[in-house]
Amino acid sequence: MKDLIDKLKGDKVIWSFVALLALFSFMPVFSASSNLAYLGHGTGNTLGYLVKHFAHICIGFLIIYWVHNIPYHYFRAISKAGLPLVWVLLFITLVKGTVIGGANASRWIQIPFIGLSFQTSTLAAIILFIFVARYLSKTRQEPITFKSSFIELWAPVFITLGFILPGNFSTTALIFSMVIMLVFIGRYPIKYIFSIIGLAVLLLTFFVLIGKAFPQSKFFSRVGTWGSRIESFTQDKPDEDDYQIEKAKIAIASGQIYGLGPGKSVQKNFLPQSSSDFIYAIIVEEYGLVGGLGVLVLYLLLLFRFVIASHKANTLFGKLVVIGLGFPMIFQAMINMAVAVELLPVTGQTLPLISSGGSSIWMTCFGLGIILSVTKKEEEIAQEKLEKEKREEILQKLIDREIAADFEEGNVEKADFKNANDNFDTNDYSITDNSTNPMNAVLK
């Protein structure tokens, strides 16, 4: 076990928090999958879902291990080359998406020959955040202008979000918010940021108006759902989403302080998507306020560690990559929790590393692997500095030992050594020339 831990590079605290969240996820997923088990094969046996979740977590940690061994600066080129590929995948998803559990058909694609479903927007978000970090960290001789930045930065951002928006408004809003946060931290001109936000609002309004005009179109079919969710959230009108929220609130209220106990949730049998979108409600019902706050604290500690990792990064690109990939994970978790307690409308955002699901876990692990690759570079620099100091210390000890041996053998008199030491001028042999004449270092 110790040998395995020694092979893990990067920030060990991030590794620990990720492992804790993953280990904790097994009991809630095992318990909350009973609803899917009854709907799927009528037996209520959730062992198969537990094994499936275990496989997803194992593959996720293999992804983290593989990615964190790749030097993070390689992802500069990968983001630029991968963005067109992401657009192709998003277009295929938009046109030939697969229905998963009755959900919208424009979010997943079926991987050929494997039979697995993949949510392409999760990959698109990671590639886009790295692409934005790459742009902000470029060395420039001239200041950024709105025209040049719109072509190089915002046009790819809007194209990517334009492919995601018809099928998933909440993910589009989350990605756009994180991009705005990233460019603000990257010291992009604030006056341009307000212009981009205004343009985004105009484009969204235009999209909604077209959706109202053509409600039967596949590309605008979700516009009506967005409006109904906002209306039911603000006016308390009963609908399907309101049913889910009511069941989630009942689950949270039933948990009280210490919860009903692991596996003893009642609302898991009535709450749709209890193992994914509303798993936090099941956690609070079974583990109480203590368990719910414990999960929240873990995410906040992970956020704090991301801030430290960003601060320690020795390049601007590394700093922005940690922020751009780490912060969205935490905000996604906060959105999931806020939906469960009805602070936000139903969004369909999962709880990272805890909710069941393959692509969401794997893409979260992919992002974590890149973050750990950044922290690994800092660890290597610190280790190299420490080894250099040790070498210098050992070399000094050897020199002192040789001098002491010469004294003992009588080869060097102490008085002679003292006089030689007094007459020694370090400036004569220094590699740094502090004189006014640049030829003095050569002449001496």
Residue 240, helix vs strand vs coil: helix
How many CB atoms neighbour CB 162 within 10 A? 15
Q: What is the DSSP string of 128-149?
A: HHHHHHHHHT---SS---HHHH
pTM: 0.81
Question: Does residue 416 surpass a pLDDT of 60?
Answer: no
Q: What is the mean predicted confidence (pLDDT) over 175-195?
A: 93
How many CB atoms neighbour CB 64 within 10 A? 25
All residues at 6 or more sequence positions from 304 whose CB lies less than 8 Å from its CB, including other chains: none
CA atoms of 372 and 322, how far apart (whole Å): 9
| pLDDT at position 103 | 46
CA atoms of 154 and 2, how far apart (whole Å): 47
Helix, strand and coil in the chain, % to nearest 5: 70, 0, 25
Task: Specify the DSSP element, H or E, that contains 109.
Answer: strand 108-110
Cα 374 to the chain's mean position, in Å? 12
pLDDT class of 368 with cuts at 50, 70, 90: very high
Angstrom CA distances, 277 to 213, 330, 332, 399, stand at: 31, 15, 11, 66
All residues at 6 or more sequence positions from 315 whose CB lies less than 8 Å from its CB, including other chains: 73, 137
The candidate with the shortest Cα–Cα distance to 103, out of 346, 333, 361, is 346
Which structure tokens are listed for 267? 């609302």
pLDDT tens column, 61-82: 999 999 999 989 899 989 988 9
Question: Does residue 59 surpass a pLDDT of 90?
Answer: yes
CA atoms of 242 and 430, how far apart (whole Å): 77
Residue 111, helix vs strand vs coil: coil
Q: What is the DSSP string of 208-242?
A: HHHHHH-TTSGGGTTHHHHHHHHHHHHH---SHHH
The candidate with the shortest Cα–Cα distance to 371, out of 308, 296, 286, 291, is 308
Question: Does residue 390 surpass a pLDDT of 60?
Answer: yes
Which structure tokens are listed for 405? 């041996």
Angstrom CA distances, 335 to 124, 138, 201, 276, 343, stand at: 19, 32, 21, 13, 9
Percent of the chain with pLDDT over 90: 41
Q: Give the residue ranges of DSSP H helices in 313-438.
A: 316-340, 358-409, 414-423, 426-429
The candidate with the shortest Cα–Cα distance to 153, out of 119, 202, 198, 186, is 186
Q: What is the mean predicted confidence (pLDDT) over 432-442?
A: 52
| pLDDT at position 197 | 95
pLDDT tens column, 19-38: 999 999 999 888 888 777 77
CB 276 within 8 A of CB 350: yes
CA atoms of 397 and 392, how far apart (whole Å): 9
- Torsion, Cα 352 354 360 364, to 10 degrees, reads 50
Question: Does residue 296 surpass a pLDDT of 70?
Answer: yes
pLDDT tens column, 90-125: 988 888 765 554 444 456 777 766 667 778 889 999
